[in-house]
Amino acid sequence: MATSCTRPDSLTAIAAQLCAVNFKQFQRLLLQRSQKVASFATEAEMKTLAAWTTLLEADDNTKVIVTPFFQNMVIPSSEAQFGGENSNETLNGVGTFLGFNPVKPTGNFVGLDSALYEVLDALTPESLAELGVSRLTSYLVTADGEIVHKALKGIPVFNWVVGSPGTQGFKSQTLFPFSFSMTADWFKGVNVLKPTFNPLTDLDAE
């Protein structure tokens, strides 16, 4: 069976970049179960503390929870995968592009007590990749108090895990390493929102 390959009449023009998008440092996550319909009607609503307070106080699948502060969070770039490079398997040994690897952000919680650790650890079964689709999403909060979202929803995450504490002893912190996975194209459709409140401090329970 023939496969058609329809391309545009011309290459798509690339718009001039007027300003750079730099996430800088992430310091907290806002976690929510995956939603079929966004919990916010508009970005204007998403900017308000009242809208987030409703989700923090919810007792259903829309509930949002706020992680403790963390440090050293790193999101690696996705890596392109090629088959048959430098071999007779491909034309001129150039290789066949097979797609990109998922990415695995990592970071460290510091000095968690046992109860906090257990709450964070309980998120693992919510996010297992073998479920087939993401059941857990994350809004990322920057050091500047901005919220990174995807079409007014959280970014899908898989295999959320928090390790047991490690310490180097004298004059060292007790670190709880955490990680999760995101698809290689996680950045597509992502927006950075500056709310009218500070999500780093104003979402904590009193």
pLDDT tens, position by position, 70-94? 999 999 999 999 999 999 999 999 9
pTM of this structure: 0.91
Q: Tens of pLDDT along 94-143? A: 999 999 999 999 999 999 999 999 999 999 999 999 988 889 999 999 99
Q: What tokens appear for 145 in the block?
A: 């108090």
* Phi, psi of 104, rounded to the nearest 5 degrees: -125, 95
* Separation between Cα atoms, residue 135 and residue 29, nearest integer Å: 16
Sequence spans of domains, the chain: 26-193
- Residue 2 has a pLDDT of 52
* Separation between Cα atoms, residue 57 and residue 50, nearest integer Å: 11
Q: What tokens appear for 136 in the block?
A: 């857990």
Confirm if 167 and 175 have CB atoms less than 8 A apart. Answer: yes
Q: Give the torsion sign (CA, 47, 43, 41, 129).
A: negative
Q: What tokens appear for 5 in the block?
A: 């390959």
Q: What tokens appear for 104 in the block?
A: 């695995």
Strand boundaries in 34-134, DSSP class E: 64-66, 70-74, 80-83, 96-100, 106-110
